[in-house]
Amino acid sequence: MKIAVVSDTHMPRFAKALPFALRQGFAREAVGLILHLGDFTAPDVADLFAAIAPFDAVAGNNDGDELVRRFGRRKVIGVEGVRIGLTHGDGVRKTTLERALDAFADDGVDVILFGHSHAPYCARHRDVWVMNPGSPTDKRRNPRYSWGVLEIRDGGVFPALHYFDDKSPGEADPPRRPRHESSSG
């Protein structure tokens, strides 16, 4: 199974629709699950991902009460026998990476996924894969937009980061209309 990993979409501030390159990447990788690591910033952003593939998430520090109630701030899920910890990674003291590692220190996870810093990261820490997919809409000081794939095959975990340059929605998915506009006429 291939799992798409995204974080820090900050929509609609940094994008009005999912980038075409991101949606194209999901299709190319034939992802069977999408995991979002928080900072959607608008509740309906989760529905954009859920319309593409089965979906789960955690809320980030910029997400409101509705997203926190819906997803929680930290969780461990099982996928094909692999235990995956999800957290946004915000907090005080320590680095975002250190906070993510600490969040699952006693949980026996195989993978830790986190966001918050917008900085793509993928490395092994002892026997645990740790990934931050960066952001597909707000690259900050990073040279490119990014997202991740976690492939689970034969009991093994194979993570990869994917990068792209253009966050435009493309012709296949024009920006959504504001909710107050009429759809008639």
pLDDT tens sequence across 138-161: 999 999 999 999 999 998 999 999
Mode of pairing for the β-strands spanning 55-57 and 82-87: unpaired
pLDDT mean over 160-175: 81
Question: Which 3 state secondary structure label does DSSP give 23?
Answer: helix
pTM of the shown model:
0.91
pLDDT number for residue 171? 63
Q: Is the pLDDT of residue 125 over 60?
A: yes
Domains of the chain: 2-164 (3.60.21.10)
State how far the alpha carbon of 123 is from the alpha carbons of 16, 73, 87, 130, 133, in Å. Answer: 32, 23, 17, 6, 12
pLDDT in tens, 43-78: 999 999 999 999 999 999 999 999 999 999 999 999
**Does the pLDDT value for residue 176 go beyond 70?**
no
Q: Smallest Cα–Cα separation from 117: which of 104, 108, 130?
A: 130
The tens digit of pLDDT for each residue in 18-52 reads: 999 999 999 999 999 999 999 999 999 999 999 99
- The secondary element (H helix, E strand) that includes residue 100 is helix 96-103
Residue 184 has pLDDT above 70, yes or no: no
Average pLDDT over residues 125-135: 97
Q: Residue 130: pLDDT above 80?
A: yes
- Confidence category of residue 172, pLDDT binned at 50, 70, 90: low
Residue type, 81: G
Query: In angstroms, rounded to a whole number, what is the distance separating the alpha carbons of residues 128 and 131?
Result: 10
Q: What is the pLDDT of residue 178?
A: 39
Q: Which residue has the higher pLDDT, 89 or 176?
A: 89
Interval 96-120 mean pLDDT:
97
Across-strand partners of 162? 147
Q: Of 136, 134, 129, 131, which is closest to residue 117 (Cα–Cα)?
A: 134
Whether pLDDT at 103 is above 60: yes
User: Which token pair is 156?
Assistant: 């093994």
